[in-house]
Chains A and B, each alone.
Chain A
């Protein structure tokens, strides 16, 4: 059973403004029979002022579709058309003290009916531009079509990126399998294969970070680990930055010691977190040479 608010139940059991509005001069008919919702919104607009004098609806749909329709008519009555057009689907949901994520599309349908009815009154043709997909992320009510389009437009390739761009998957994480499936599909369209666990590609690195800024950030990370290295009688020095490869020089007790690899790995991880991009840290020849000689 859905967790409907009392307000939703009230508007479902006692719908306001239901039925045909005889002298309507703006009518919007929208819906999606496959999703089981369709709505006819009828407006009576005062031509001089553009004020909505009356609004009624007929709805084929579930409890929340009927409640959303009822709420919509209550919200817009007395508003001018321009004011009414500012009503968002979230406003409809809020008026009803919220809707379950699976049912948010009912409020979207309400807003679309309003746009269609206003267009009809103004003698325009309203075209629906939003496509609805199966709900993937229940925590944030994000559907498959939105995820798919976002992946396509931004060349995304990890679940983390999808979460960053759409919020999908950022809650309970149960939908990660579903997101991975969409990723695999869209990525194969562009000739790539989805690799779970891979890090965001370069495209995802924050734009506008200049070379100087990057180097400063790298220096800051090295600075932060330096005291620890010094305690062990060693040090680290930045030698060069070549694209994604960062060359460092390990000196003193650190160079070639067994811990060098692990230390470098740790620093590499910190650098990636800081720069928000994939980088590789490489010890310069000097240190590798010492290591080779020792080994």
Chain B
């Protein structure tokens, strides 16, 4: 397929070098790393190497702090449930309104089981109020879980500082770093972050492989018990090929990090400023001055996101939207609602997320296509009249709401 893929926050293409590194582990190196014979022998070494590659990407102090899991969601669940089981006397959780469902749905469930969940709200740019956070930190809090970067807007959260505050009251700190890992340098050994989740498929490794970083000394209760794999912290025969792939992907991500933060950031900025200049009534959501280098989330008012995506798709352009219709729910993105983006705009948000494979030619093409599509859909919109929103009170669209 020769399309333009600007949906890298959803998932990424596996790097060809990663595929190449993985292939032997399906064929000649198929052994079980736990076995005594020579079929499994090299596999154990390969896993060790991958663990060190991930350690380096995260800036972790020890390679044994890296626990391989099956995905980001598993890492998130493991972290929160472990913190609760390890500290049964603490019954509260602090998280934010803009987390990924991997955290939010779990917290809703835990609430039903009797835990108290505090949701930190965000302002119109998606920023947290640290004063409100400090007030919630009590001896009752078992764990604080705050994403490092938001998947929809790319906005960063001050997790390093928040982890210190959590420790001051004896609470554990977890961060969902699924979006930031591989895009921005991390240095976990200099932080007080206890646990961190990473997902392979966001950094050009395959789907179905993740990491839970577990700072040495953090009290831990496994989610899966069984064999001694991952030092008993995550039982189940290792997904060897994917672990090796993730190790390679971590190495490549580190190598291209500078490029990601200069060239890709430049392309993203070009895409964004050009679209905003050409399309009236459009704006960037989140905090543009403090976000991932690859992400741009633009709200196009008075039209709906799924319709935009379908038309973009016709031009071979892939992006995603916070509209309700793309997820089959009744509400637009909880992240947009949390920031107070009005419905007429929240439904029309489109997220463009680039990768190191994105090119200037692709950006130029998208800049050319998007304004036409927006115009075409606005022609159909009852809220739009010619060059702007309907203002004539006689003509204003006022539907009976269902």
Contacts and interface: CB of A to CB of B under 8 A. Distances in A.
Contacts of B323: 36, 62
Nearest to B402: A32
Contacts of A168: none
Interface in A11-37: 12-13, 15, 18-19, 29-37
A40 B382 contact: yes
B210 interface: no
Contacts of B379: 18-19
B17 interface: no
Contact of A63 (B310, B330, B332): B310
14 contacts: A12-B307, A31-B401, A31-B402, A32-B330, A33-B399, A35-B325, A36-B343, A37-B325, A38-B399, A60-B383, A61-B307, A63-B307, A63-B310, A130-B402
Contacts of A65: 304, 307, 325
Contacts of A132: 330, 402
Contacts of B381: 58-60
Given A59-B380, A134-B330, A135-B328, A33 B343 contact: yes
B399 A66 contact: no
A39 B380 CA distance: 10
A113 B313 CA distance: 29
B31 to A, nearest CB: 37
Contacts of B344: 33, 60
Interface in A37-66: 37-40, 58-66
A33 B330 CA distance: 10
Contacts of A1: 313
Nearest to B329: A134
B365 to A, nearest CB: 20
Interface string A125-162: 01110111111000000000000000000000000000
B94 interface: no
Given A32-B401, A60-B381, A112-B402, A102 B304 contact: no
A128 B314 contact: no
Contacts of A13: 311, 314
A62 B304 contact: yes
Range for the number of chain A residues in contact with chain B:
35 or more
Contacts of A31: 399-402
Closest 10 CB pairs of A and B: A102-B328, A62-B325, A62-B306, A58-B382, A31-B399, A36-B347, A29-B399, A40-B382, A33-B343, A36-B324
A199 B329 CA distance: 32
A179 interface: no
B1 interface: no
A128 B307 contact: no
Given A13-B314, A63-B306, A36 B380 contact: no
Interface in B294-345: 302-307, 310-311, 313-314, 323-326, 328-332, 343-344
Nearest to A40: B382
B398 interface: yes
Given A60-B381, A63-B310, A134-B330, A36 B304 contact: yes
Contact of B402 (A15, A30, A62, A63): A30
A34 B382 contact: no
Contacts of B259: none
B324 A60 contact: no
Interface in B332-387: 332, 343-344, 347, 379-383
Contacts of A135: 328-330
Contacts of A116: 400
Interface string B270-310: 00000000000000000000000000000000111111001
Given A12-B310, A34-B330, A60 B401 contact: no
Contacts of B329: 134-135
Contact of B380 (A15, A33, A108): A15
B382 A60 contact: yes
A71 interface: no
A142 B113 CA distance: 27
A45 B55 CA distance: 72
B382 A59 contact: yes
A45 B286 CA distance: 48
Contacts of A133: 330
Contacts of B324: 34-36
